[in-house]
A and B are shown apart, each in its own frame.
Chain A
Amino acid sequence: MSDDTRDDDRAAAADEAAAANPAPTAGSRRPQAPVRRLSSRRRFIRSAFLIGGVLGLAMLGYVPVAGAHRSRLRPPGALEEADFLSSCIKCGQCVQVCPVAAIRLDDIDSGFGIGVPSIDARAQACDFSCDAVQCILACPTGSLTYRKPASLATRPGMPLARAPLLKAKAKDAEPTLNLPERIGVARLSRPDSCLAVLGKGFRGQARGAGFRGRLRYVERDRWRPVAVRDHPYDRDLCNLCVSECPIGDAITMLATVAADGSRQHRPQVLEQCVGCGVCEMICPVDPAAIVIDARQPWEG
């Protein structure tokens, strides 16, 4: 026990004695003994430091948010970043329902974003294997939502022109995804290394034998995603970003004839791109030639 505790006990004993023999001026507070006054002042100062310290540490969480150098890809249906961070209750139910485990929870180095879901598309992109966008269904607070309330912010270029067509559902009665807004947009960021631009083909495992990512190959199994390393490719001209894109009319291979008569190819991102990141995941060159600009709007 500390000195303070002993002081408190002693004081409590004194209080008891006083209660047993009420002083003539019952009800009036007795002046504190000097030792007790000192200890209660110490305790007060200590408490002020505790309050300042803990609140200060909690507010440090603003630093990574304000910095925002790392613009993270959020799951489909996510609100605008500020709304997303304020509404996410950090429960991870979206993580639990994702069939390809694309969603991870951020750590304390994200500050206020701790426990908030994000997707590292290069490691495992969202390929909509679940068809119904299960993470949106699972979200209890509306951080991920099919229908954003009118009061919440939307930036131009984020809403999709029309409901995205899910290639895997093309033959279903309802072939579209209930996803009104994109989560980002793909961009051919390194055309110099793009195999298609270089006119090269691709043979083998897209991401090597050690890659753990999975993808739905509808022709193999509609309901069970397959490890990318178990699905080798053999293409005369690499077009993995175009052929594996799960969304209809989101990316196409543009072919042009150059002045010398040779054919030039280049993947072209289209307005229906939702930003799922499958192209970034499947791109066989390292670093990927095509990447997702997370939370960026379509700029035409």
Chain B
Amino acid sequence: MSASERLRVMFGAAPLKPERITPAAQQVHKLKRMTKADFEALKQHARDHQLVNHKWRNRRWAVLILVNLLFTFSFWLDIQMLEGSLTASRFVGFHLIDLNSALQVMLAHRHVIVNLFIGTATVFVLWVVLGGRSFCSWVCPYHLVAEWFEWLHLRLVAKKLVSDHQFHRGARSVFWLAFALLAVLSGYTVFETISPTGILSRALIYGPSLALGWVLLLLLFEVLYSRRAWCRYVCPIGLTYGMVGAISPLRVEYRLEHCFHEGDCRKVCMVPHVLDVVIKGRAPDLKTPIGPDCTRCGLCVDVCPSGALVFDIKGLNRLL
């Protein structure tokens, strides 16, 4: 309102509508055209963004560390609950065999004994129930270490010291086929030689090894060159469990109505392609399950301020 206009009003003229309104003020006017409920929801949403929530991350880290410690202590303290390592073990006597390791052994050796079959079948059923790639984020020790180094990578990216070089995600499928083929052709479990999951698991139980140098190289590669490269583009274990998870009822579900399409979830996600559905205009339905490549890590569930991403069990009509 100009000074002359204010004086005019003082001397008796009726106030006129302003000729010009600043964009900021226009924005507020626009907001106030909403219903009161809408406006409050918006304010609440903005406040929710300030809340830092690590509920699922903390639970996941606790489970991951506990499982791996159970392996370690079963040997060190001889409590004999979970004997062996992640590739194969016995839980209070029941055989458990990692699906990818079992596949490598079966392809290389071509002779399956009963215990190997039982252990593999048990683990298959276990991870169908628990969500397939949830093995990655809830059990695999390399996942946790890589998650810590990813934080370092993101810090360096923010300071523009390094940048993330992406690979084609089809590379992982090529690796899966190549390692399966190499096992058949060579008769050796070739992948196990470089598997950081096996190396770390054995190191935690049987003590440090030279092989940890290889794991460190992988982590350096991820910090300096490509974000979470091993898990995203290489690891055939992830793809094996991903295939198992395709028929799992446990998954993260996307709820369109709650979504503000801000994309925070895709920034924290290790496999953001599964969250393509959150882009404005992509969701085919009000509720959409997230694909089998999702590791069920819950980072997106934690970061979403409006509850658009939640853990869900198919057929079970309640939230976890």
Contact = CB atoms under 8 A, between A and B. Distances in A.
Partners in one complex: yes
Interface of A: 1-5, 8, 12, 16, 19-20, 43-44, 46-47, 50-51, 54-55, 57-59, 61-62, 65, 82-83, 85-93, 95-97, 105, 107-109, 111-112, 114-115, 138, 140-142, 145, 149, 151-152
B247 interface: no
- Identify the interface centre among A91, A96, A109: most chain B CB within 10 Å of its CB: A91
14 contacts: A2-B165, A4-B165, A54-B175, A58-B190, A58-B193, A58-B194, A59-B190, A86-B105, A86-B189, A89-B116, A93-B88, A93-B90, A96-B75, A141-B116
B192 A114 contact: yes
B157 A1 contact: yes
Contacts of B296: none
Contacts of A20: 281
A284 B205 CA distance: 33
Interface stretch (B24-32, B46-54, B136-144, B208-216): B208-216
A151 B163 CA distance: 53
Contact of B111 (A8, A19, A151): A151
B163 A1 contact: yes
Interface of B: 74-75, 83-85, 87-90, 95, 97-98, 101-102, 105, 108-109, 111, 113, 115-116, 119, 157, 163-168, 170-171, 174-175, 178-179, 182, 186-194, 198-199, 202, 205-206, 209-211, 213-214, 229, 233-234, 279-281
Given A107-B211, A141-B105, A112 B87 contact: no
B contact patch SS: helix
Nearest to B86: A91
B119 A140 contact: yes
Contacts of B192: 89-90, 112, 114-115
A108 B211 contact: yes
B235 to A, nearest CB: 10
Given A2-B165, A112-B193, A62 B188 contact: yes
A contact patch SS: helix
B176 to A, nearest CB: 11
Nearest to A12: B279
A92 B202 contact: yes
Contact of A16 (B116, B205, B210, B281): B281
Contacts of A54: 175, 194, 234
Given A4-B166, A90-B85, 19 more contacts: A1-B157, A5-B166, A51-B171, A57-B194, A59-B190, A65-B188, A85-B188, A86-B105, A87-B108, A88-B189, A90-B192, A91-B84, A93-B83, A93-B89, A107-B210, A138-B90, A140-B97, A140-B115, A149-B111
Contacts of A109: 210
Contact of B198 (A59, A115, A149): A115
B67 to A, nearest CB: 15
Contacts of A114: 192-193, 199, 211
A109 to B, nearest CB: 6
Given A50-B171, A109-B210, A114-B211, A91 B165 contact: no
A4 B225 CA distance: 13
B87 to A, nearest CB: 5
A115 to B, nearest CB: 6
Contacts of B179: 58
Given A91-B87, A141-B105, A2 B164 contact: yes
A58 B191 contact: yes
B211 to A, nearest CB: 4
A61 B188 contact: yes
A97 B78 CA distance: 10
B220 to A, nearest CB: 14
Contact of B88 (A5, A43, A86, A140): A140
